[in-house]
Amino acid sequence: MDPTALQGVPQSVSTGALPGWARVDELVLEAHGRYADDRTGTVADYIPVLAAVDPDLFGLALIEVDGGVHDAGDADHAFSIQSISKLFVYALAIQEHGHERVREIVGVNNTGLAFNSVMALELNGGHPMNPMVNAGAIATTALMPGATAVEQWERLREGLSAFAGRPLSLDGTVYASEAATNDRNRAIGRLLRSYGRLEGDPDEIVDVYTRQCALLVDAHDLAVMGATLADGGVNPVSGAQVVSAEVCRDTLAVAAATGLYERSGEWLFEIGLPAKSGVSGGIVAVSPGKGAVAGFSPRLDHAGNSVRAQLAIAHLSRSLGLNLFASAPAAAQHPGD
């Protein structure tokens, strides 16, 4: 579809509100408690240092667009953001370059292949198909403004920190562990370059990408970052306008289609929210106009998605009425109207 065909048509927004703070808090604690003993799944080990994490950690956080905070369990345990960074770097790229330019460089469709697939790029003539998997994410990182890779990294770190509402720092151990083993990502960077899809030195861009994945966050931070995307780009805790409302809409659309690796369709079917997960065990799900929920638990399913974070977010999507596709007949809700 040609997006210019909609020029001048005003963007109305989705509606609805969360129940009061106390009820939300009760449900967050209930969702955490209900899955606390689940031991299903295995911890990621392809980045060697990730395998050393305590697998029993389990944090859950919900941040409302009015700044209301709900933290449960290990919501303040720091872990490397990994792939979840892709969501926010994509938002920064659209903010910088605009909807159409970024759309030309990186597509918005699911590849149906693994997140680090080289084949997805080859099958598509070197055009990255989406920004939530490595090829598209590396091309997106290359769009960060700056004359050098160091400047691009600083801009990126500042941007993600603005989403979190506090300065984010690098986990040097995770960065070193991944930098020593990321031949595949370097291959993707060079392949992008060979297709003329990447400006600059591919190894330097992949280094910035590796750093972005090693930024430390906790579940509370992720929920604040997600709530910023739920709140038209305003961080509900710091009050800063981080990106525009249009950028949030674009970013969340891509997250809905592609945020949970090869399980994105199943996730949307069961939970009905745009979300992004990462191999260190985090997931953030965004409810536009209401807030965001983030879970952290290191045991993953086969696609690389945290098992307990999925369960807890699914619980809240259902109990708080967050699923974007759920409705009930109006006549049954207001009998006699």
Token couple for 322: 């967050």
| Smallest separation (angstroms) from ligand GLU to the CB of 41 | 15
Query: Applying CB under 6 A, does 90 fall inside the site for ligand GLU?
Result: no
CA nearest neighbour of 60 among 308, 274, 323, 227: 308
Q: What is the DSSP letter of 82?
A: T
Q: Which of 83, 140, 228, 258 binds ligand GLU (CB under 6 A)?
A: 83
Query: Applying CB under 6 A, does 181 fall inside the site for ligand GLU?
Result: no
Query: Applying CB under 6 A, does 115 fall inside the site for ligand GLU?
Result: yes
Query: Applying CB under 6 A, does 287 fall inside the site for ligand GLU?
Result: no
Whole-number Cα distances in Å, 237 to 67, 73, 90, 222, 313: 5, 21, 22, 12, 21
Site for ligand GLU in 8-47 (CB under 6 A): none
| Smallest separation (angstroms) from ligand GLU to the CB of 237 | 25
Q: Which of 18, 82, 131, 264 binds ligand GLU (CB under 6 A)?
A: 82
Composition of the chain by helix, strand, coil, percent to 5: 45, 10, 40
Q: What is the DSSP letter of 8?
A: T
Judged on CB neighbours under 10 Å (0-12, 13-18, 19+), 257 is middle
| Locus of tokens 């995307």 | 229
- Closest to ligand GLU by CB, 116 vs 244, is 116
- Closest to ligand GLU by CB, 206 vs 312, is 206
Site for ligand GLU in 151-180 (CB under 6 A): 178
SS3 call for 292: strand
| Smallest separation (angstroms) from ligand GLU to the CB of 201 | 18
SS3 call for 94: helix
Using CB under 6 A, count the residues that bind ligand GLU.
Answer: 11
CA nearest neighbour of 169 among 178, 181, 160, 179: 160
Query: Applying CB under 6 A, does 279 fall inside the site for ligand GLU?
Result: yes
Site for ligand GLU in 290-309 (CB under 6 A): 304
- Closest to ligand GLU by CB, 189 vs 233, is 189
Query: Applying CB under 6 A, does 213 fall inside the site for ligand GLU?
Result: yes
Residues lying near ligand GLU in the complex (CB under 6 A) are found at 82-83, 115-116, 134, 178, 185, 213, 278-279, 304
